[in-house]
Structures are given as structure tokens and as C-alpha cells.
Amino acid sequence: MFLRVDLIIHFLWLTGGLALLYFGAEWLVRGASCLALRLGISPLVVGLTVVAFGTSMPELLVCLKANSPDIMSLPAVWCGFQVDYVAASPDIAFGNIVGSNIFNIALILGVSAMIHPIVINAQLIRREMPILIVSSGVFLVMMMDMNLSRWEGGVLVLGILIYLMMSFRMSQKESGLGQRSEMEEEVMEEAKKGGGSPLVNILLITVGIGALVLGAGWLVNHGEAIARVFGVPEVIISLTLFALGTSLPELATSVVAALKKEGDIITGNAIGSCIFNLLAVMGVTAAVNPLRASNVSWVDLGVMMGLTVLILPFMWSRMKISRVEGVILTGIAISYSVMVIVVQR
């Protein structure tokens, strides 16, 4: 039985959207990192702000496009283009972040550990993991009524600002002691390899942001169309395909880091992205326009919270995530995806 022509076209557009999100994030991170380092900004601060923001930009733009399509269409209107306004789909925003965090922990850490056991930095257990667990707990409490209001979004945004300030102060102390993490070394190395002129870096940033905006629009619009063709809730598409697609920058970075045996980059990338997704992406999205979930269930939220707690003893035992634990995490990611697709809510 052949697929309908319109369905094939939607899949092609959706694939193009995923590609634009991936390359857009890569270009944005590379251009902004190199430009920031040229301006004398600390590599660690670059990693905690520019890189974290860049790799979470796909999630942010997909969430804004889904929850506030009118606002995302304003630049096109200002340029004189005709725009057909569509209804908001907050379930896509919720599903994208919940699914992304599940994939960040289960799939990215799982696949990376299977390639090579991940050695854990003590700082991650002392600081980042407690912050992630508390952030996830606060998010779940806010979701008790399946709503995320503007003031709750503001609280989450305040949380990411406090986290970034803490990170900046700690980086200053470490710099004063002459310490340099693996992530700092990696960012500096990448800047030396790909650091072109400031004009080239600005061009990369501009093109990267443009690709992200365009890719987010294609992903949401054609993902919704595919969901309608198959008669499945949009949240299922966002919990699986969108979540995996917007996690591609983190997955690619972690696989390369695993091959190089650079554990700090893998764990910092995955855990940092989860924190950024909950506090920055959900916070900004709700602050712009309140969110109300219709089809995201407590099973999805429970899996996200369960994985957040489960990963801590994995890291604590022998201060590494072994290949066996990597297989377990990857198995959870695959099982969850199958469950979401089979159990049509």
C-alpha cells in the first residue's frame, strides 16, 4: 500500500525542519562561542550560557511556535508577508519539553555510556543534580492543575537567572585558582579550529537563528498535519518525534564526546540541557502566553521525574555510568517511546 502523496510531502517538510533545527543550533553555538571568546569572555561562562542557550534554542522556538503562533509570526508580518494564523497547541510545547528531558537522560546518557563508560565529575552530583531534581519537583507541583500561568513562568525564568549567576561566580573562583574543566578546554579548542573573523561569526549567528525559526515552523506545522492524517493526538508526536528531533544537537555533541572519552561534556550537556529546558524554555513560553495541557498525562511527567531521580544512584555508584547502566537507560527510552505510540491517549 502506497503512502498518500500529501503525507510524503509533510514528512519531507518535517525532515527539512529537523535538519534546519540541527544545523541552526550548530551554527549559532559555533558563531556565538567564537565571538564571545574573541571578546575575552570566560570559556566556562560561554559554555554555561551561549552553548546551553544554543542547544536549547530548538526546544524554545518549537514551544513558542506551538503555544504562541501569532507572536512567532510577527517578524514575517513586519516584513510585509501574508501570514495565516493558526490555533495554539500547548500540548506540543509540554510534550516537547517532557519528552526532551526523558531523551536527554535516558537516550543521550544511555547511548554515550554504551559507547564508553561515563566518568562523573563530583561537582555534577554536588550541584547540578540537586538543582535538576528541585527544578523538576517545582515543575511537577506547578503542573498539579495541568496549567502553567505567567507568574509561574516568571518564577521558572528567575530560577534560570539565579542558576546562571551561581555558575558565573563559581567559574570566577575556579579561574582564580587556575582550574580549567574539560568543557572549557573543549570550547577553546573548537574556537581555535573554527574561529573565523568577527564578521563570519556574526553571519553564522544570524543564519543559525534564521534556520532555527524556519525549522521550528516547518516542524510544528507539518507535524500537526501528520498527526491529523493518522488521527493521533499531537502530544504523541511531540513526546516522540519532536522531542527526539530537538534533542539532536545534544545527542550529536554527546556521541562525539563519548568517542573522545570526555565525560564532563556528556553529563554537563545532558543535565544542563534538562535544567535549561525546565527553567528557561518552559518559563519563557509560559511568561509569553499561559499554557494549559490537555493530553500530557501524569505517566509522562512521572517517567521524567523517575529518570531524574534514577540517574543519581547510577552516577554515585563508582562515580561513573557503566555500559550496563547505559543499556538500561537506552532500554527505558525505547520502551517509553513504544508505550507512547501504542497507548493512544
Residues 195-206: tens digit of each pLDDT = 567 788 778 878
Share of the chain above pLDDT 70, in %: 74
pLDDT (mean) for 164-176: 69
82 has pLDDT over 50: no
Q: Which three cell numbers stand for residue 15?
A: 525532515
> Which of 78-92, 131-145, 218-232 has the weakest average pLDDT?
78-92
Q: How high does pLDDT run on average in the chain? A: 77
pLDDT of residue 79: 45
Question: What is the CA angle 280-110-338, rounded to 5?
Answer: 85
pLDDT of residue 2: 46
Cβ burial, residue 174 (10 Å; 0-12/13-18/19+): middle
User: CA-CA distance, 274 to 261, in Å (whole number)?
Assistant: 22
Domains of the chain: 5-342 (1.20.1420.30)
136-145: long-range contacts (C-beta < 8 A, 24 or more apart)? 136/101, 136/274, 136/278, 136/304, 136/305, 136/308, 137/305, 139/278, 139/282, 140/301, 140/305, 143/293, 143/301
Band (154; pLDDT cuts 50, 70, 90): very high
User: CA-CA distance, 140 to 298, in Å (whole number)?
Assistant: 9
Nearest to 330 by CA among 135, 105, 36, 87: 105
> Which of 139-148, 271-280, 293-302 has the weakest average pLDDT?
293-302
pTM for this entry: 0.76
User: CA-CA distance, 291 to 88, in Å (whole number)?
Assistant: 10
Half-sphere exposure of 13 (CA within 13 A, CB side): 18
Residues 288-299: tens digit of each pLDDT = 989 888 777 888
Helix H or strand E segment including 1: none
Tell me the helices (H) and strands (E) count for the chain, helix number first: 18, 4
